[in-house]
C-alpha cells in the first residue's frame, strides 16, 4: 500500500527542513575546523597550522585544499563509533523482521510484530522492569525500531549529528553519551508508563551534548553558531515529539541527561595519558554493559509479560 498524497507532502516538507538543518550543521562544522584540527593520536584539538601536536608530539599531516586532499580526508576512518552504532541498529531491525516472519520489502509501512520487539527488549513501564529485574531493556531498546521509516529517520539523524559530536568529545566519551542518555531516556519514559523503543532518546542526548559544547565554547564564533543551531533544532525536535505515537518523555530524558553529562565531563577528548586510560576504561565498561544486556535479552524466558 502506497503512501497517501498528504503523507508524501508531510515527508517532503520534513525532508526540506532536515536539509536546511544539515546545511547549518555543515557551516558550523566548517567554522570549527577552520580554527582547529584534531590530533589523530590523542584527539586533542590543535591550532590549525601546527606541524606537531603540543600534547603528544604526533606529526600532523596537512592536507592541501584540493580534490586529492579532500578525498584523503574522507578516506581517513575518523568516526568508527558512529558507524558501529548504525550497523548495530540495522542488524537488530533485520532480526526483528526475522522473528516477525515478515519482510519489510513487502510493505514499507509495516513494522515488526509486537511479539518480536517485546522479545528483543523494548522498554516497558518502570514498575514491570523493576519487578522482573529486566533492566537490560533500557539498553536493548536503544537499538530497536518500529519499521523502515522509524529507523530511516533515526539513522539519518545519527549519521549527521554523530560524527560531529564524536569529533568534539572523542570516541570513548561519545559512546558513553550515547548509551547513558539512551538509558536515562527510557527510565524517564518508563516512569510515565510508556512502552517504547528506538534510538531517538540517545540521539537527543547527543543533541544535548552538542548544545553543551556550544555553550562552553560560546566565547568563539564557532561555539555561538553551534549553540544557536543546536538550540533551534532542540526546540523543533521537542515540539515534534508531541505528535501522536512519539515518546516525548524518552526525548526529554535523553536531551536533558546529554546536556548535564556533557557539562560535567568537559568538552574535549581525553588529552593526558591518565585521561586516555580512564576513558578507555569507561568505554570498556560501556561495551561490557552492551554485551551483558544483549546476553540477558537472549536468555530471557518466554513469555516475558
The residues annotated with a catalytic role in the active site are: 200, 251
* CA–CA distance, 83 with 171 (Å, rounded to integer): 11
Q: In the chain, helix, strand, coil percent, each to 5?
A: 70, 5, 30
Q: Which of 205, 221, 303 is nearest to 257 (CA)?
A: 205
* Cβ-contact 167, 269 below 8 angstroms: no
User: 154: which DSSP letter?
Assistant: H
* Closest by CA position to 304, among listed 121, 127, 143: 121
Do residues 269 and 38 make contact, with C-beta atoms less than 8 angstroms apart?
yes
Phi, psi of 59 (to 5 degrees): -70, 130
Q: Residue 77 is placed in which grid cell?
A: 576512518
CA distance 223 to 44: 17
Amino acid at each position: 500500500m502506497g503512501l497517501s498524497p498528504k503523507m508524501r507532502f508531510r515527508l517532503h516538507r520534513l525532508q526540506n527542513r532536515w536539509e536546511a538543518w544539515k546545511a547549518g550543521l555543515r557551516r558550523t562544522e566548517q567554522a570549527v575546523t577552520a580554527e582547529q584540527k584534531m590530533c589523530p593520536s590523542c584527539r586533542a584539538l590543535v591550532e590549525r597550522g601546527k606541524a606537531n601536536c603540543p600534547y603528544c608530539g604526533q606529526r600532523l599531516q596537512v592536507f592541501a585544499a584540493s580534490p586529492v586532499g579532500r578525498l584523503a580526508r574522507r578516506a581517513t576512518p575518523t568516526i568508527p563509533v558512529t558507524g558501529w552504532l548504525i550497523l548495530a541498529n540495522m542488524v537488530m531491525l533485520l532480526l526483528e523482521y526475522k522473528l516477525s516472519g515478515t519482510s519489510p520489502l513487502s510493505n514499507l509501512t509495516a513494522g515488526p510484530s509486537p511479539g518480536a520487539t517485546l522479545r528483543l527488549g523494548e522498554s516497558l513501564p518502570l514498575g514491570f522492569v523493576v519487578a522482573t529485574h529486566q533492566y537490560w531493556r533500557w539498553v536493548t531498546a536503544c537499538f530497536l525500531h518500529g519499521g523502515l521509516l522509524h529507523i530511516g529517520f533515526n539513522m539519518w539523524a545519527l549519521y549527521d549529528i554523530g560524527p560531529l559530536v564524536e569529533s568534539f568529545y572523542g570516541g570513548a566519551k561519545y559512546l558513553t553519551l550515547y548509551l547513558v542518555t539512551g538509558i536515562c531516556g527510557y527510565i524517564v519514559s518508563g516512569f510515565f508508563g510508556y512502552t517504547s523503543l528506538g534510538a531517538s532518546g540517545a540521539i537527543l542526548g547527543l543533541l544535548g551534548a552538542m548544545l553543551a559544547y556550544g555553550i562552553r565554547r560560546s566565547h568563539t564564533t564557532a561555539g555561538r553558531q553551534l549553540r544557536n543551531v543546536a538550540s533551534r533544532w532542540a526546540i523543533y525536535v521537542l515540539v515534534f515529539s508531541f505528535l501522536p505515537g512519539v515518546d516525548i518523555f524518552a526525548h526529554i530524558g535523553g536531551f536533558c541527561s546529554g546536556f548535564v553529562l556533557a557539562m560535567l565531563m568537559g568538552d574535549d577528548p581525553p588529552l593526558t595519558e591518565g585521561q586516555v586510560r580512564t576513558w578507555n576504561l569507561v568505554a570498556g565498561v560501556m561495551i561490557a554493559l552492551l554485551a551483558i544486556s544483549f546476553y540477558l535479552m537472549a536468555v530471557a524466558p518466554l513469555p516475558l509479560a
